[in-house]
Amino acid sequence: MANMNFNTSFTPITVDPDKIYDHSFAIIKEEMGDHPFTDEQWLVVRRVIHASADFELGRSMIFTPDAIEAGIQSILSGRHVVADVQMIESGSGRKRFQKHGGDLHCYIADEDVAKEAKAQGTTRAIISMQKAVRLHEGGIYAIGNAPTALLELIRLVKEGKAKPDLIIGMPVGFVSAAESKAELAVLKGIPFITNKGRKGGSTVTVAALNAISIMADERANETK
């Protein structure tokens, strides 16, 4: 059996969690260099890069001019957040939503959603978006896994059945992921955050959502 001795002389720069964050963000800023993002957009982009270690993904991000402010105001107004998958639900700092009167919801695992999806021969992601729109007015939709969820939400917006405060749409994958984000990028009348191409995922969607909720918290603290 091979010797599995992984002893190393490497010593971490720091084990202080706050200093690790600060050092990571300093590295990201240096390696990113010049970029087209506003100061507030950059707070989202750098957290996405931090979550993914992917500068290409960060550079591909697209924001409507009102996206950040729309997300902040939605949280501060106590609107709810809807996620396409439970990974987003578990990864988000939902306490930041709850203290402003909202919460984070994911319906994809609900029994009624699964039953209806089977009856219609479609995805649970699609039915979960339909359920969310029936239950919640406005709010933030965070979609990081299911392109069909994003495409369905876009359809509902176009038909006047949904009007989210903000869509964070960054599903990952090879089937319809890039196309769904391209559809979002030309959607009119709804603030959004997305990116180009196949990359994305629940982790980076959570990162973007958390960046906005942190900004909302800071805004609330400033007004106290």
Does pTM surpass 0.75? yes
Burial of 174 per CB tally in 10 Å (0-12, 13-18, 19+) = exposed
What positions carry a catalytic annotation?
50
pLDDT tens across 159-205, in order? 999 999 999 999 999 999 999 999 999 999 999 999 999 999 999 99
Partners of 143 in beta bridges = 169
What ranges in 77-201 are assigned the alpha helix state H?
A: 86-91, 94-98, 111-120, 124-135, 147-158, 177-185
- Look at residue 1 in the predicted model and tell me its pLDDT: 46
R_g (Cα) of the chain, nearest Å = 19
- Distance CA(13)–CA(7), nearest Å, equals 17
Q: Which fold has domain 62-222?
A: Rossmann fold (3.40.50)
- Look at residue 169 in the predicted model and tell me its pLDDT: 98
